[in-house]
């Protein structure tokens, strides 16, 4: 019994001692392993420094940005005539020349108006010609009536003088001559009266004109009778009654002359009629001219050469006139574009690096393997949000970067390029040819001068002062202090910026 207790007691002691013993053995093993690793590290040869070779080459400083292709010159083709489109002979993407017929608008509403106005013009022209003829005739008739009345007055005055003076051989001869002249005047008045009767029947003169001719006939006949009576009285000698009659004839002749002269006022009325007729002709002619312009506007021609970027209408659709108060969208038939360009937004950090007419390269996302040459044609003088901030009454956000609109034109056209495509633009800011270059990671300073590490013939790094010049995206120009082929130690870099230019192959 006592022996069993001793065994059990001994086993318990051994179990309690076993766990610490195992821990001690583990710690000793770890210490031995660590010592071995330390000895291996101490005896490992040092890693050679990373370096690159200075080389001679060309350095470009470029500003890159993504933008959108758009036309340089965009022209909306609008219809001046309103109506239904009869035809639209273009398709999107088609190249059209300036002056090429694009579309036709229905002219059926204009043709009847033009026909009516042309008929009205002919009528107005006929009325003008008739009014002019009536005026010319009236001027001649009025002049003739005045001349006849003045002649009759002269005759009456002469007869009165003869009567008052008494009969003499000379007076007898004059009396006979007066009778002859009166006869001539009477005959002339009758002929005039007959002509006016014919003109009155055809409507070329007024009734008053005819009445004036009749008055002239009556007057002439009266004058003839008076002349004959005067001659008879002259033969028998003057009488009181004869003198009174002669005076009465003179008074009558004066009245006739005044009447003829007052009738000349009708000439001004006829001139007014002519002016009105001419105005009517001019107005109708102007209406016809406008209709002819409207008729020409039914033919829509390309105002410039270019590519059809978009069609807004189809045949049989209604188009409104661009000259009326309708919106432009209702009058636009199509949009044309000629040359292409890329519009990009350059941030304020890089905008100072870009100059007008600077060369550029363009790649379109749709044509990733094709590179197009380009030229900077326009640089905005203000940022895209400069005026927006001012109009909002604020000073703008100090945390946002302002961008400036820059336009780069394609140097050559490619039919595969389309307006609205995305494109990547690289604009050359500066270029140096045949200069000494090293990667940026080989220059640990930011200024124009500093020290770099250069490996000597034994492979040991030595400090050397260098002068730097133009700094690009990946390389920097060494103005002095290095020669091509020298080994320049580089600083460790990681990620996308690491360059595989080390001749020892390490990254």
Read off the pLDDT of residues 47-104 as tens digits, 9 standing for 90 and up.
Answer: 678 899 999 999 988 899 999 998 888 888 999 888 899 999 898 878 899 999 999 9
One domain for residues 375 and 492: yes
DSSP secondary structure string for all residues of 285-318: HHHHHHHHHHHHHTEEE-SS-EEEEEE---TT-E
pLDDT of residue 393: 47
Find the mean pLDDT for residues 129-145: 89
One domain for residues 132 and 188: yes
pLDDT of residue 492: 55
In 3D, which of 404, 419, 406 has the Cα closest to residue 339? 419
pLDDT of residue 282: 95
Helix, strand, or coil here: 106? Answer: coil
- For residue 302, what is the domain's CATH number? 2.40.50.100
- Is 407 part of any domain? yes
Whether residue 493 is predicted with pLDDT greater than 80 in this model: the reply is no
Whether residue 336 is predicted with pLDDT greater than 70 in this model: the reply is yes
One domain for residues 309 and 366: no
**More confident: 330 or 462:** 462
Which residues, other chains included, contact 357 with Cβ-Cβ below 8 Å and sequence gap of 6+? 375, 376, 377
Percent of the chain's residues with pLDDT above 90: 34
pLDDT of residue 501: 35
- Is 445 part of any domain? yes
In 3D, which of 464, 469, 466, 465 has the Cα closest to residue 435? 469
One domain for residues 263 and 224: yes
One domain for residues 345 and 493: yes
One domain for residues 156 and 218: yes
One domain for residues 429 and 463: yes
The DSSP element (H or E) to which 102 belongs, if any, is: strand 101-105
Query: Average pLDDT, whole number, for the chain?
Result: 82
**Tokens 């009025």, residue?**
142
d(CA 54, CA 374) in angstroms, rounded, equals 32
- Is 453 part of any domain? yes
pLDDT of residue 242: 72
One domain for residues 328 and 468: no
One domain for residues 120 and 242: yes
Q: In terms of residue numbers, what domain contains 457? A: 340-396+403-497
- Is 214 part of any domain? yes
- Is 67 part of any domain? no
How much is the pTM?
0.47
Q: Provide the pLDDT confidence category of residue 325 given band limits of 50, 70 and 90.
A: low
- Is 414 part of any domain? yes
**How wide is the angle at C-alpha 338 spanned by C-alphas 333 and 340, nearest 5°?**
125
- For residue 440, what is the domain's CATH number? 2.40.30.170
Beta-strand ranges (E) seen in 356-493 are 359-364, 367-379, 403-410, 422-439, 449-455, 461-471, 475-480, 487-489
Q: How many domains does the chain have?
A: 3
pLDDT of residue 239: 66
Among 24-28, 126-130, 471-475, the minimum mean pLDDT is found in 24-28
Q: How far is CA 335 from the centre of its chain?
A: 13
pLDDT of residue 16: 65
Q: Provide the pLDDT confidence category of residue 173 given band limits of 50, 70 and 90.
A: confident
pLDDT in tens, 413-440: 787 888 889 999 999 988 899 999 999 9
One domain for residues 354 and 481: yes
One domain for residues 222 and 128: yes
Which residues, other chains included, contact 125 with Cβ-Cβ below 8 Å and sequence gap of 6+? 281
pLDDT of residue 505: 33
**More confident: 306 or 30:** 306
pLDDT of residue 388: 61
One domain for residues 135 and 252: yes
- Is 6 part of any domain? no
Among 22-31, 34-43, 331-340, 401-410, the minimum mean pLDDT is found in 34-43
Whether residue 139 is predicted with pLDDT greater than 80 in this model: the reply is yes
- Is 99 part of any domain? yes
**More confident: 367 or 4:** 367
């Amino acid at each position: 019994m006592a022996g069993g207790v001793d065994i059990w007691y001994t086993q318990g002691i051994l179990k309690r001692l076993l766990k610490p013993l195992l821990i001690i053995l583990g710690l000793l093993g770890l210490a031995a392993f660590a010592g071995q690793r330390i000895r291996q590290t101490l005896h490992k040869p040092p890693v050679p420094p990373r370096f690159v070779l200075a080389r001679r080459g060309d350095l470009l400083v470029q500003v890159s940005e993504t933008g959108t292709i758009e036309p340089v010159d965009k022209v909306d083709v609008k219809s001046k005539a309103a109506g239904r489109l009869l035809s639209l002979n273009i398709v999107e993407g088609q190249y059209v020349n300036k002056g090429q017929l694009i579309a036709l608008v229905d002219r059926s509403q204009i043709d009847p108006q033009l026909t009516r106005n042309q008929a009205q013009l002919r009528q107005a022209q006929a009325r003008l010609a008739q009014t002019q003829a009536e005026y010319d005739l009236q001027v001649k008739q009025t002049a003739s009536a005045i001349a006849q009345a003045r002649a009759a007055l002269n005759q009456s005055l002469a007869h009165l003088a003869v009567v008052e003076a008494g009969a003499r051989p000379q007076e007898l001869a004059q009396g006979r001559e007066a009778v002859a002249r009166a006869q001539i005047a009477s005959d002339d008045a009758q002929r005039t009266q007959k002509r006016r009767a014919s003109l009155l029947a055809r409507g070329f003169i007024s009734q008053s004109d005819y009445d004036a001719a009749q008055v002239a006939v009556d007057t002439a006949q009266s004058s003839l009778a008076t002349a004959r009576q005067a001659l008879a009285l002259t033969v028998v000698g003057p009488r009181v009654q004869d003198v009174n009659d002669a005076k009465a004839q003179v008074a009558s002749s004066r009245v006739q002359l005044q009447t003829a002269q007052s009738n000349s006022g009708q000439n001004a009325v006829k001139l007014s009629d002519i002016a009105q007729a001419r105005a009517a002709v001019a107005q109708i002619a102007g209406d016809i001219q406008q209709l002819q312009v409207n008729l020409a506007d039914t033919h829509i021609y390309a105002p410039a050469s270019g590519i059809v970027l978009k069609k807004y209408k189809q045949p049989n659709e209604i188009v409104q006139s661009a000259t009326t108060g309708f919106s432009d969208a209702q009058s636009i038939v199509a949009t044309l574009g000629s040359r292409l360009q890329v519009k990009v937004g350059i941030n304020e950090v890089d905008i100072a690096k870009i100059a007008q007419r600077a060369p550029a390269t363009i790649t379109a996302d749709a044509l990733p393997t094709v590179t197009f040459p380009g030229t900077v044609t326009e640089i905005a003088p203000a940022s895209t949000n400069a005026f927006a901030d001012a109009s909002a009454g604020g000073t703008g956000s100090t945390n946002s970067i302002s961008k400036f609109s820059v336009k780069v034109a394609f140097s050559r056209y490619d039919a595969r390029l389309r307006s609205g495509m995305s494109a990547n633009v690289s604009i050359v800011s500066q270029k140096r040819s045949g200069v000494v270059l090293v990667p940026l990671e080989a220059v640990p300073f930011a200024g124009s001068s500093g020290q770099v590490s250069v490996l000597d013939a034994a492979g040991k790094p030595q400090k050397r002062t260098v002068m730097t010049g133009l700094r690009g995206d990946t390389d920097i120009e060494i103005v002095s202090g290095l020669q091509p082929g020298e080994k320049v130690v580089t600083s460790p870099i990681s990620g996308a910026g690491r360059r595989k230019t080390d001749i020892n192959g390490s990254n």
